[in-house]
């Protein structure tokens, strides 16, 4: 696995405190790799939540270049923005998290596939289709055991009957049946087989009502990589599209042919010598163990750096790579993560200077696997969370810039 990053030779503009660089070629290549993992299924790249923080439209463009033929989003606003951007072309777009009053007519007009995940939505979808003057393309989401969104087994017969009536009168086309797994990130978990069986039951009930959906889909990233028996017609990976491992306990990204697309870097704003015994940052959770040099990184929790990744008596701080050549090393945040900044103990022999670039995470297998640049999974472990939350929360104040030789943003 390559580490495409050189810590000190960044082209981060002089005077710019920080940026997230998104490698669109990586997103394209990750989608290609995921298609190889599910060779007989189509692929829906999930680009909700601003493309997991990478930028929804550029991420969609890169995923389509990698062979995705579907794009998935959570909200109506995301779906309409994606269609308005024009990147989607012939790709299908599916939206699955809707509330009463959602703009069903706009979605149908924009050729977005909509989800029926609860009894209330059947009538609203039909009304939206009548208003738009064309049938709504509907995916029925069934709850097979996640107990989150989706029609329960008890409600399913009634919902299927109403959809069949609306299909007969031309207001809807039931084009998909889908569900979502609770524990796919724990391969072999018995709930996966239970949900798969419940999904098959639901698909049979739909067929028995005379409905003939084009696609059945159940697999998220973890199932795309580890559970071929649930690939069905379409797989729906999200996190893996961005090059992060959905099952880190089984291996880093490279184990699945993936590479992380986002690099987060910042310029040191201050480098200064302090004596031994100095408390560092709010609450003095960290005390300098010797005369040393501190470096200030201008990113904090307002930028999405988790405060749980504070270091010192608060725990093992989030990792940051500094220096180049022989001086390259991974340090841990010293003390509290503040709103706008964090501090590093660069050590007594530090050669870093103000303006040098530090890398918080990048295209790496992770320091847990011996890399000299951290990845988002390393941050997840330092903060007691998952890599999804690390990349998705990078704040609006951090500009995204796009890299990649082939795919243009
Ligand atoms: C977010 C989401 C996905 C993608 O999940 P990953 O774990 O990121 O692969 C797929 N399907 C649904 C319904 C989702 O909400």
At residue 308, the pLDDT reads: 97
- DSSP assignments along 123-180, one per residue: HHHHHHHHHHTSPEEEEEEB-SS--SSSB-TTTHHHHHHHHHHHHHTTSEEEEEEE--
The arithmetic mean of pLDDT across residues 367-373, rounded, is: 94
pLDDT tens digits, 126-168? 999 999 999 999 999 999 999 999 999 999 999 999 999 999 9
Locate the ligand 1 atom nearest the alpha carbon of residue 224 and give its number. Answer: 9
User: Is 56 marked as binding a ligand?
Assistant: no
Q: Which residue among 46, 182, 184, 224 has the greatest number of ligand 1 atoms within 8 angstroms of its CB, and so is best to mutate?
A: 46
**Ligand 1 center to 119 CA (angstroms):** 22
Q: If DSSP codes are grouped into helix, strand and coil, which group holds residue 404?
A: coil
What is the model's pLDDT at position 406? 82
Q: Which phi and psi angles does 234 have, rounded to 5°?
A: -155, 135
* 141, 242, 256, 282: the active-site residue: 282
Would the pLDDT of 44 be above 50?
yes
Mean pLDDT across 36-48: 98
Distance CA 338, CA 332 (A): 15
Q: What is the pLDDT of residues 380-399, one digit of tens each?
A: 999 999 999 999 999 999 99
Mutation test of ligand 1: which of 43, 72, 78, 226 has the most ligand atoms closer than 8 Å to its C-beta? 72
48 a catalytic residue: yes
Distance 10 CA to ligand 1 centre (A): 33
3-state DSSP assignment of residue 402: strand
Q: Whose CA is nearest to atom 8 of ligand 1?
A: 238
User: What is the distance between the alpha carbons of residues 116 and 150, in angstroms, rounded to a whole number?
Assistant: 8
User: Does 262 belong to an annotated binding site?
Assistant: no
Report residue 153: phi and psi, to 5°.
-55, -35
* pLDDT exceeds cutoff 50 at 3: no
pLDDT tens-digit readout, 215-269: 999 999 999 999 999 999 999 999 999 999 999 999 999 999 999 999 999 999 9
Q: What is the mean pLDDT of residues 295-303?
A: 98
pLDDT at 326: 86
Average pLDDT over residues 77-105: 97
Query: If you measure from the C-alpha of residue 106 to the centroid of ligand 1, how many angstroms do you get, rounded to a whole number?
Result: 24
| Residue found by looking up tokens 């089984």 in the block | 250
Looking at the predicted structure, is the pLDDT value of residue 200 above 80? yes
Distances (CA, A) of 121 to 67, 135, 170: 32, 15, 17
CA distances from 308 to 6, 204, 344, 386 (A): 27, 46, 16, 12
pLDDT of residue 300: 98
Supply the residue whose CA is at minimum distance from atom 15 of ligand 1: 74
- What is the reported pLDDT for 314? 83
User: Is residue 9 very low, low, confident or very high in pLDDT (cuts 50, 70, 90)?
Assistant: very low
Tokens standing for residue 78: 């995301």
User: Ligand 1: residues within 6 Å at CB?
Assistant: 46, 48, 96, 180, 220-221, 236-239, 246
Ligand 1 pocket mutation pick from 220, 232, 391 by most atoms within 8 angstroms of CB: 220
Q: Is the pLDDT of residue 83 over 90?
A: yes
pLDDT over 60 at 8, yes or no: no
Architecture of domain 262-403: Beta Barrel (2.40)
Helices (H), 213-269: 221-226
Mean pLDDT value across residues 9-21: 82
Q: Give the number of the atom of ligand 1 that is nearest the alpha carbon of residue 149.
A: 13
Q: Give mean pLDDT, residues 362-389.
A: 96
Domain boundaries, the chain: 69-240, 262-403
Q: What's the 219 CA to ligand 1 centre distance in angstroms?
A: 8
CA of 236 to the centre of ligand 1 (A): 6
Nearest atom, ligand 1, residue 239 CA: 8
Nearest CA to ligand 1 atom 1: 238
**43, two tokens:** 């692929």
In percent, the amount of the chain with pLDDT more than 70 equals 98
pLDDT of residue 275: 98
* 69-240 maps to CATH 3.20.20.10: yes
Percent above pLDDT 90 for the chain: 93
Mean predicted confidence (pLDDT) in 23-28: 98
How far does the centroid of ligand 1 lie from the alpha carbon of residue 185, in Å? 12
Which residue is closest in CA terms to ligand 1's atom 6?
238
List 48, 242, 256, 286, catalytic entry: 48
Mean pLDDT of all residues belonging to the chain? 95
3-state secondary structure of 353: coil
């Amino acid at each position: 696995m390559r580490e495409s990053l050189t810590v000190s030779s960044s082209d981060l503009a002089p005077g710019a405190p920080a940026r997230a660089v998104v490698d669109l070629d990586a997103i394209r290549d990750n989608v290609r790799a995921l298609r190889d993992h599910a060779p007989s299924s189509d692929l829906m790249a999930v680009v909700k939540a601003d493309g997991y923080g990478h930028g929804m439209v550029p991420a969609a463009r890169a995923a389509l270049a990698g062979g995705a033929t579907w794009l998935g989003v959570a909200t109506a606003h995301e779906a309409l923005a994606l269609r308005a951007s024009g990147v989607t072309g012939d790709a299908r777009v599916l939206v699955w998290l809707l509330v009463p009053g959602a703009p069903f007519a706009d979605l149908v007009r924009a050729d977005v596939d909509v989800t029926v995940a609860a009894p209330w939505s059947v009538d609203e979808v039909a009304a939206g289709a009548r208003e738009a003057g064309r049938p709504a393309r509907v995916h029925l989401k069934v709850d097979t055991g996640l107990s989150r969104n989706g029609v329960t087994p008890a409600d399913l017969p009634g919902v299927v009957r109403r959809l069949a009536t609306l299909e007969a009168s031309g207001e809807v086309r039931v084009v998909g049946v889908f569900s979502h797994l609770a524990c796919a990130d724990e391969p072999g978990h018995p709930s996966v087989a239970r949900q798969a069986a419940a999904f098959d039951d639901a698909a049979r009930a739909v067929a028995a009502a005379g409905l003939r959906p084009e696609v059945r889909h159940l697999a998220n990233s973890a199932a795309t990589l580890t559970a071929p028996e649930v690939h069905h017609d379409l797989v729906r990976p999200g996190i893996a599209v961005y090059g992060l491992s959905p099952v880190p306990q089984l291996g880093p990204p490279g184990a699945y042919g993936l590479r992380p697309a986002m690099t987060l870097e910042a310029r040191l704003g201050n480098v200064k010598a302090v004596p031994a015994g100095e408390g560092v940052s709010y609450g003095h959770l960290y005390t300098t163990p010797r005369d040393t040099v501190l470096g200030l990184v201008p990113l904090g929790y307002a930028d999405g750096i988790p405060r749980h990744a504070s270091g010192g008596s608060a725990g093992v701080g989030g990792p940051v790579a500094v220096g180049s050549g022989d001086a390259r090393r991974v340090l841990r945040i010293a003390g509290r993560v503040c709103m706008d900044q964090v501090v590093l103990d660069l050590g007594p022999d530090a050669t870093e200077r103000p303006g040098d670039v530090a890398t918080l995470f990048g295209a790496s297998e992770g320091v847990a696997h011996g890399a000299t640049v951290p990845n988002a999974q390393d941050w997840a472990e330092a903060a007691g969370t998952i890599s999804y939350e690390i990349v998705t929360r990078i704040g609006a104040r951090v500009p995204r810039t796009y890299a990649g030789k082939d795919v243009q943003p």
